[in-house]
């Protein structure tokens, strides 16, 4: 008898964010097509969270697959210092004019967290590179002008799981074990009509302490799909920039159409100095991160003094296959735009029906993302709800993975009308059933 994949997995794999004690065996997925994932018994599941927000054109897209195959036959990888290649240059050329701002340089890395690490390092070194050129007694560059040695970040933010990215993310059970090893940014509330004046006076008072601010524009994803006011953010960012603070837009989640526009930055007048991209960048096919900057930042690293170099890189920087997948994904985005507006329209209509369910709190939608909290006012219920919804959804042929009590629906842009109906019907079924029969 052959050992099942689940049994083999149990022997050798350590899964992400997974407590392996008492964990439910993972589902062996053997193929994907469009919005659907198929398990080894032929069951289909609608991927209602786009496989952790990465997949935008559906699974195993034949166009991307063909481009990847052709590229793999030509050049699979090459070191990216001292060498360059067509997919990396073509992707930068194609991406830069699409980005919301005056971006002129692309730095490649492997994922969202590394894109954030690079951005933070750029912002901090931007300031230290402006210091007097002569070395100090210790040989290190002199202190940053104006003592800009802090980073600003928002409460409830999530920027990734590596140490720098964790440092600028909200402290939580995810970061508890590492608390004393993280650098401390100053955390402030996301701007709103209520707190804007207070935040602006904070900037006037302390703005010059900060090298940069990192933020997820309009939508804090992992922090609970929290949507916040574009106009207030805009005013806050302009004021921050007025104090010389570099603005780092983390569009790892919001990029490539998720919020209805190609980038969330398009909802803002103020343009960021640095932007981080990943997730949808390759259509969810391959791991790739981009940190794009303005020429002003790039120029701060140009020097005869070698110490002003950005000393950062990864073995797989600008991997030609990943860049090819990203180029193919951009080709498909024209078609994707139709899906984006279709999903956005349906979410908006479904949203209107949600207040009629007593256990729904704070229903909201932004582009292709619909979210709400389920609440009966009892804490144990809140804690119990996420795994129950995931389990019940799987039984209904849908993959959903709530964040605590926050349920959200974020499909690939190719999802069909029927599949959308199926997910909405399931959500309604939950709202009725869990209200009658609270989960224990």
Ligand X SMILES: *Cc1c(COP(=O)(O)O)cnc(C)c1O
Residues tagged in the binding site annotation for pyridoxal 5'-phosphate: 112-113, 250, 314-315
36-39, Cβ contacts within 8 angstroms, sequence gap of 24 or more: 36/419, 37/399
Backbone angles phi, psi at 36, to 5 degrees: -100, 145
Q: Which residue lies nearest ligand X, judged by its C-beta?
A: 112
Binding mask 202-221 for ligand X (x = CB under 6 A): --------------x----x
Q: Extract the runs of DSSP E, i.e. beta strands, from 95-209.
A: 103-109, 150-154, 186-188
Work out how close the CB of 250 gets to ligand X at its nearest, in angstroms, rounded to a whole number: 5
Q: Which lies closer to ligand X via its Cβ, residue 113 or residue 282? A: 113
Q: Which lies closer to ligand X via its Cβ, residue 111 or residue 324? A: 111
**Residue 253 interacts with ligand X (CB under 6 A): yes or no:** yes
**Residue 278 interacts with ligand X (CB under 6 A): yes or no:** yes
What's the CA gap between 182 and 168, in Å, rounded? Answer: 9
Conformation bin of residue 283: beta by default, left when phi > 0, alpha when psi is -120 to 50: left
Closest CA to 154 of 221, 206, 205: 221
Query: Within positions 141 to 200, which residues make up the interface with ligand X, using CB under 6 A?
Result: 158-160
Selected binder of ligand X within 35, 109, 111, 317 (CB under 6 A): 111
Closest CA to 150 of 237, 240, 214, 211: 211
Which among 110, 250, 308, 434 is annotated as catalytic? 250
First-to-last alpha carbon distance for the chain, in angstroms, is 39
Which among 108, 158, 267, 434 is annotated as catalytic? 158
Query: H-helix or E-strand containing 74?
Result: helix 62-74
Work out how close the CB of 67 gets to ligand X at its nearest, in angstroms, rounded to a whole number: 22
Active site residue 306: no
Q: Which lies closer to ligand X via its Cβ, residue 128 or residue 317? A: 317
Tell me the binding residues for substrate.
52, 158, 279, 313, 401
Pairing mode, if any, of strands 246-250 and 226-227? Answer: unpaired
Closest CA to 129 of 302, 245, 295: 302
What's the CA gap between 168 and 152, in Å, rounded? Answer: 8
Which among 279, 308, 357, 413 is annotated as catalytic? 279
Q: Which lies closer to ligand X via its Cβ, residue 32 or residue 221? A: 221
Active site residue 158: yes
* Bridge partners (DSSP) listed for residue 373: 361, 406
Tell me the binding residues.
52, 112-113, 158, 250, 279, 313-315, 401
For the chain, the residue count is 440
**Residue 222 interacts with ligand X (CB under 6 A): yes or no:** yes
Active site residue 250: yes
Q: Which lies closer to ligand X via its Cβ, residue 160 or residue 185? A: 160
Q: Which residues contact ligand X by CB under 6 A?
A: 111-113, 116, 158-160, 216, 221-222, 250, 252-253, 278
Q: Which residues are catalytic?
A: 17, 158, 250, 279
């Amino acid at each position: 008898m052959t050992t099942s994949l689940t049994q083999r997995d149990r022997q050798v794999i350590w899964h992400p964010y997974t407590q392996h004690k008492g964990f439910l065996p993972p589902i062996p997925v053997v193929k994907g097509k469009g919005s659907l994932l198929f398990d080894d018994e032929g069951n289909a599941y609608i991927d209602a969270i786009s496989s952790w927000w990465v997949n935008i054109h559906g699974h195993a897209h034949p166009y991307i697959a063909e481009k990847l195959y052709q590229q793999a036959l030509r050049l699979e990888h090459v070191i990216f210092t001292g060498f360059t290649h067509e997919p990396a240059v073509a992707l930068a050329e194609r991406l830069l004019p699409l980005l919301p701002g005056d971006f002129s340089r692309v730095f490649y890395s492997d994922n969202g967290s590394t894109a954030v690490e690079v951005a933070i390092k750029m912002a901090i070194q931007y300031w230290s590179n402006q210091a007097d050129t002569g070395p100090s007694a210790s040989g290190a560059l002199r202190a940053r002008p104006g003592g800009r040695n802090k980073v600003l970040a928002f409460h409830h933010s999530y920027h990734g799981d590596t140490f720098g990215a964790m440092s600028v993310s909200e402290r939580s059970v995810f970061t508890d074990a590492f608390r004393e090893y993280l650098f401390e940014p100053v955390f402030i509330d996301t701007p709103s009509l209520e707190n804007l004046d207070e935040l602006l006076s904070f900037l006037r008072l302390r703005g010059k302490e900060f090298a940069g601010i990192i933020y997820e524009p309009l939508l804090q994803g992992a922090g609970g799909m929290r949507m916040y006011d574009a106009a207030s953010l805009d005013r806050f960012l302009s004021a921050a920039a007025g104090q010389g603070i570099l603005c780092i837009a983390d569009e790892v989640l919001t990029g490539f159409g998720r919020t209805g526009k190609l980038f969330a930055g398009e909802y803002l007048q103020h343009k960021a100095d640095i932007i981080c991209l990943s997730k949808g960048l390759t259509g969810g096919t391959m791991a790739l991160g981009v940190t794009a900057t303005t020429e002003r930042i790039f120029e701060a690293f140009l020097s005869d003094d070698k110490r002003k170099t950005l000393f950062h890189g990864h073995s797989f920087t600008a991997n030609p296959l990943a860049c090819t997948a990203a180029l193919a994904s951009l080709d498909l985005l024209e078609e994707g735009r139709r899906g984006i507006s279709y999903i956005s329209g349906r979410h908006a209509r479904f949203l209107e029906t949600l207040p009629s369910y007593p256990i729904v709190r704070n229903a909201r939608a932004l582009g292709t993302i619909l979210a709400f909290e389920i609440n009966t006012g009892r804490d144990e219920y809140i804690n119990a709800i996420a795994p129950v919804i995931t389990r019940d959804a799987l039984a209904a042929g849908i993959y959903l993975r709530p964040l605590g009590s926050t349920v959200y629906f974020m499909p690939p842009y190719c999802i069909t009308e029927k599949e959308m109906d199926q997910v909405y019907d399931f959500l309604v079924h939950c709202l009725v059933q869990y209200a009658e029969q609270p989960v224990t």
